[in-house]
A and B are shown apart, each in its own frame.
Chain A
Amino acid sequence: MLKLAFFVFLLSLASCVTVRPEQRAVLADPTMQFDNDPGDGAARDHVLENREGSSGGTSVKGGGCGCN
């Protein structure tokens, strides 16, 4: 319950943030995107999942652009 409350708190904190469209030049760049080369990332994850006991939690596509 405490974890859920903390998550909701973080989410509400996020609502206070606004980055204006004209401030998004850096965020829109591929270097600021998570998983900006999915093919390369998937190849590496495929190897690691077969070499480790852990899996999952790898990056999902997305970044801070939202410019269109």
Chain B
Amino acid sequence: MQLKRLLSAGACLIGLLTSVAASAQVAEFAPRATVFIEPSKTSKLLVINPSAELSVTPTDWLEVHGGYEADIVSGATESLKGGRLSPVDIVSSATHFKDTRHQVTGGFGLTRDNTKLSATYSYGTENDYRSNAFAVQSGTTFLQKDTELTLAYGRGFDRVCTTNFAESDSPSVKAPLDSSKGCFTKAVERASRKVDLDNFQTGWTQTWTPVFTTQLVLYGALQHGFLENPYRGVVIAPAGDQALENHPDNRLRLAVALRGKYYVRPLKIAFSLGTRLYRDTWDILGQTYELEAERYMTPDLRLMAHGRYYTQTGALFWSDDYTGGEPHDGPRGQYWTGDRELSPLSSYMLGGRFVFKRNGDPSNRIAHVMLGFETSFSVDLLKTSLRDFTWGGTKPDDTLAGIVSLGVRGQF
């Protein structure tokens, strides 16, 4: 029912955009497909992400856009977290699952002289999650267009499906979901919990010389509500007692990123160097370092290669095992988690991208149809090193992942 409503809304949006496009100066269509693969003996994961976006510019100052994307997820995951002292067989608790997330997006942008304003709304649905979100962004250039400032705000009104426990229940008796069956229906054994998301971001892009430009980004986010994985249980007592993950209801996240791009004329290569520092109230401190180089192989074809290193500390309440004694194998305060993304980890990413781009003009269209055409193909490998995380004392084997993405963009 939800999917039908979503598809009809998407069809309406595409119909509207197509009718506007008939009189538009430029219409742009951009389909893309991304595949994420994480091989493993017990908990492999495959995510296929098709998406398409259509935007039209009926006048110089107005742009209208709409889009659709899906995450088709299949694989297996351990539904119970225990550490090296766990009395429960964790690895055999891996369960197979399939789910699909659908998301439709629509919005508009206004441009006036050196100023832009845009607004976007998106609705997402999957078996166990619903999201409604809007975002507004404004940007302006000044100082001879050498300086650009942007300001963005996003608000999410999400709901997640859980078992039907009472808020007043002790966290130690709350049970995780065993499946999404009955979610967002009147089933008495299911309930839905709010997740409120506020995101703020501001960016300052500055040109310093004809070959050097920088960007500073400040980011802040507030999350409030049910922030646990509703499926994941954690072993919390030496006797093997289990309970649903128990995270704090609030999380404040802050990040500052600085990037620079420098074009080396003798090499004809644009180099990019970037760093990001992240901190949140769960006491995760993250550092990211990125290096990128891009150059033209032919006038239409360019190649980009990049590397990324990331490291983080664990959340204050993260422990590989909550059944032993402090400090290493026991409780850390009143919360518990089985989320490996909250554990101390580092990761390396290496990848590359080809982009083929050709521009036409109204009197000389590409294939008699397009004003412009662009296609990109990228491959990335991500290797994660989990410093302390184990499944019942066994290091996870799903720490090498591949991302392949193919996109096309046509202007009409």
Point out residues on A near B: beta carbons under 8 Å.
11, 14-15, 17-19, 23-27, 29-32, 34, 37, 39-40, 43-44, 46-48, 50-67
Taken together as a complex, chains A and B put the C-alpha atoms of A17 and B34 apart, in Å, by 41
Q: List 11 A-B contacts (CB under 8 A).
A: A14-B143, A17-B206, A17-B207, A17-B208, A26-B210, A37-B378, A39-B30, A53-B345, A59-B217, A59-B259, A64-B213
Establish whether residues B407 and A40, one from each chain, have CB atoms under 8 Å apart when the complex forms.
Answer: yes
Q: Is B148 on the interface with A (CB-CB < 8 A)?
A: yes
Taken together as a complex, chains A and B put the C-alpha atoms of A46 and B380 apart, in Å, by 13
**Chain A residues with Cβ under 8 A from B205's Cβ?**
34, 60, 62-64
Interface pairs A-B: 4 shortest CB-CB: A66-B145, A64-B207, A57-B255, A56-B219
Interface residues of B in 122-161 (CB under 8 A from A): 139, 141, 143-148, 150, 152
Q: From known contacts A30-B302, A47-B382, A56-B199, infer whether A40 and B139 are also in contact, taking CB-CB under 8 Å.
A: no
Point out residues on B near A: beta carbons under 8 Å.
30, 32, 34, 36, 47, 49, 51, 53, 139, 141, 143-148, 150, 152, 199, 201, 203-211, 213, 215, 217-221, 253, 255-257, 259, 261, 263, 265, 270, 274, 276, 278, 280, 282, 284, 286, 288, 294-296, 302, 304, 310, 312, 315, 341-342, 345, 347, 349, 351, 353, 355, 357, 376, 378, 380, 382, 384, 401, 403, 405, 407, 409
Majority DSSP secondary structure for residues of A touching B:
loop
Q: From known contacts A19-B209, A37-B353, A57-B256, infer whether A44 and B403 are also in contact, taking CB-CB under 8 Å.
A: yes
Taken together as a complex, chains A and B put the C-alpha atoms of A64 and B211 apart, in Å, by 9
Q: Which residue of A lies closest to B208 (CB)?
A: A17
Taken together as a complex, chains A and B put the C-alpha atoms of A59 and B216 apart, in Å, by 9
Q: From known contacts A26-B211, A34-B215, infer whether A56 and B278 are also in contact, taking CB-CB under 8 Å.
A: yes
Q: From known contacts A19-B210, A56-B201, infer whether A31 and B219 are also in contact, taking CB-CB under 8 Å.
A: no
**Chain B residues with Cβ under 8 A from A25's Cβ?**
210
Establish whether residues A56 and B146, one from each chain, have CB atoms under 8 Å apart when the complex forms.
Answer: no
**Chain A residues with Cβ under 8 A from B286's Cβ?**
52-54
Q: Which residue of A lies closest to B409 (CB)?
A: A39
Taken together as a complex, chains A and B put the C-alpha atoms of A31 and B267 apart, in Å, by 13
Q: Which residue of B lies closest to A63 (CB)?
A: B213
11 extra interchain contacts, Cβ-Cβ under 8 A, other than A39-B376, A56-B220, A62-B150? A18-B144, A37-B353, A39-B51, A40-B32, A40-B378, A43-B49, A51-B382, A51-B401, A53-B286, A53-B345, A57-B257
